[in-house]
Every structure is written in structure tokens, then in C-alpha cells.
Structure 1
Amino acid sequence: MLEINPGVAIWTIITFLILVAILKKVAWKPIVDALTRREESIRKALEDAQRAREEAEKLMEENKRNLARAEEEVQKIIREGRETAERIRAEILERARKEADVMIERAKEEIERHREQAMLQLRAQVADLAIQVASKLIGEVLNEQKHKKLVEKYLQEISSEKRA
């Protein structure tokens, strides 16, 4: 059946050992060197990835801080804008009130001037009418000086009657 031939077994072992020696001399070192280089490149890639991840985390934290500062700055600008707008609005309202007060005061003065002019015109007309009536009643024509004295006298009497 199965017989072991010692000569073939020895030659097989010798051939195997020679092959291992040749492979060790020729192929083993380059294979181990390639595996070592590959292991080193993988380790370096992992370290680079770790550093990149840490750097990314630092950048994310910095971006969060910058975003928070930017948000604060935006809120500050908005707040200042509102305050400025409110101040300008108050100034405009105050100016408008002052201008309205000035216009009202001018209108009052103008009304008073017109009233005084109307009173003067009315007094002059009343004086003329009084002179005409007095002339007809007295039957004589008075000179201008006498007319004025007479009118003033009647006006004073009328004014004092109204006051009493």
C-alpha cells in the first residue's frame, strides 16, 4: 500500500530546506520589508487621521466660538441700531413738537394782530358812524378835532359801562 521510501523522503526534505533557504535569501526579506513598509504606512495613515480628526475638532470648536462671537456682534449691532433709531425718532418728534409750537405761537400772534386791526377798523367805523349820527342830531358839523374828542368820550363811556 503506502510505503515510505527513505531516499525520496530525504531528497524531499533536502529540496524543501534548499527552497526555504533560497526563499529566505531572495524573497523573504523583500516580503517582510514590504509588509513592514505597509504596516508603517498604515500606522502613519492612522496617526495622520487621528491628527486630522483632532485638528478638525479644534477647528469646529474655534468655528463655534467664532459663530458665537459673530452672533453676539450681530445682536450688539441690532441693539445699537434700535437705540439709534429710537434716539433719531425722539429727536424728530421733539423737532416736530418745537416747530408745531412755533407755528402755533405765530398763528396766535397773527390772530391777535388781525383782531387788533379789526378792532381798530371797527373803532374807526364806529367813530365815523357816531360822528355822522351826532352831526345829524346836533344839526351842525363839527370839525375833525371836536369829532375825535366826542367819539373818544363816547367810546370810553361805552367801555366803562361794559366793564361795570
Structure 2
Amino acid sequence: MDKLINEFSIGLFFWQLVLFIGLVLLLRKFAWKPILDAVEKRESGIEDALKAAENAKAEMANLQADNEKLLKEARAEREAMLKEAREMKTKMIEDAKTEAQEEAGKLVAQAQASIEAERKAAIADLKSQVANLSIDIAEKVVKDELSNKGKQEKLVESLLGNATLN
């Protein structure tokens, strides 16, 4: 450093200063301006990108809100459909029970009517058999009574005696 101060020359300093100022002016005109323009473009690009990111973030929030809304609507619709399906199932079961009870009532009524008809037919058949047996027995008794001529006359007189004339 002492050497620089001892060998200091004003002329050399002047020319170095002129060259430095010229270099600064040239750099300013040809390098700094494009560099500063590039930096400003880069800065505006970054600002635009940040704005676009903010817009995208806001749009994503809106989309997420819309998705939540659609999801809630879908859940509500699903619940409504499940409720309707349960109601339909319950109604179908009740209708089937009612129909089965009505059918069972009809079958019971038919069975009772059939039983009653069979009972009446059995009673009629039994009466017919009793009547036939009674006729057969009476026929045998009368045949036995009428086989003897004396008994026949006695029977006729007894019947005539019991009969009253009008």
C-alpha cells in the first residue's frame, strides 16, 4: 500500500478515472439496462405467478367447497333413497302379511264350509243307513209277524180297533 501512495501519478489516475467512467457508461447503456429489464421482467413474472397461484388457490378452495356441497347432496340423496327403500320394504311386507291373512281367512272359511258340507253329508248318509236298517228290521219283524195267519188277523183287528173313524 505504501508503494501505491509513493508512486501515485495524477495523469495515470485521470486516465484510469476516464476509462472507468467510460466503462461504467458503456455498461450502463449496453449491460445494466438489459439486466435491469430482465430483472424487472422476472419480477413481474414472479408477481404474475404469485397472483396466478393465489387465484388457483382460491379456485381450489371454491372447487373443494363445491365438492363438499356435492358430497353432502349425494349423501342426502343416498339417505333419502335408503329411507324410501326401507319404507317400500316395510310396505311390501305389510301388504304380503295382509294378503296372507286374507288368503288364510278365505282358506279357513272354505275349510269350515267344506267340513260343514261333509258333516251334513255324513249325517244324511247316517240317516239313510239308519232308515234302511230300520226298514230292514221292520220288514223282518213284520214278515215274522205276518208269516202266521192267526197273528195276521190279530194284527189287523188290533190296528182296526186303534183306528178311529172321522
TM over 0.5: yes
Deviations 1:104-130 (A, max 9, x none): 111111111111111111100000111
Deviations 1:39-78 (A, max 9, x none): 0000000000001001101110111111111101100110
1:12-161 aligned at under 5 Å gives the runs: 12-139=16-143
Amino acid aligned to 1:73: E
Counterpart Cα distance in 2 of 1:6 and 1:67 = 84
Amino acid aligned to 1:32: L
TM-score under structure 1 length normalisation: 0.82
Amino acid aligned to 1:10: F
How many residues were matched structurally?
141
TM-score under structure 2 length normalisation: 0.81
Counterpart Cα distance in 1 of 2:91 and 2:127 = 53
Moved over 6 A (4+): none
Counterpart Cα distance in 2 of 1:12 and 1:113 = 143
Counterpart Cα distance in 2 of 1:16 and 1:89 = 103
Amino acid aligned to 1:68: K
Question: Which residue in 2 is equivalent to 1:146?
Answer: none
Compute the displacement of 1:138 (Å). 2.9
Question: Which residue in 1 is equivalent to 2:15?
Answer: 11
Counterpart Cα distance in 1 of 2:80 and 2:12 = 95
Deviations 1:110-162 (A, max 9, x none): 11111111111110000011111122223369xxxxxxxxxxxxxxxxxxxxx
Provide the identity percentage: 33
Counterpart Cα distance in 2 of 1:43 and 1:103 = 88
Structure of higher CA gyration radius? 2
Counterpart Cα distance in 2 of 1:36 and 1:16 = 26
- Relative contact order: is structure 1 or structure 2 higher (C-alpha 8 Å, sep ≥ 6)? 1
Amino acid aligned to 1:20: V
Counterpart Cα distance in 2 of 1:129 and 1:44 = 123
Deviates more, 1:35-44 or 1:21-30: 21-30
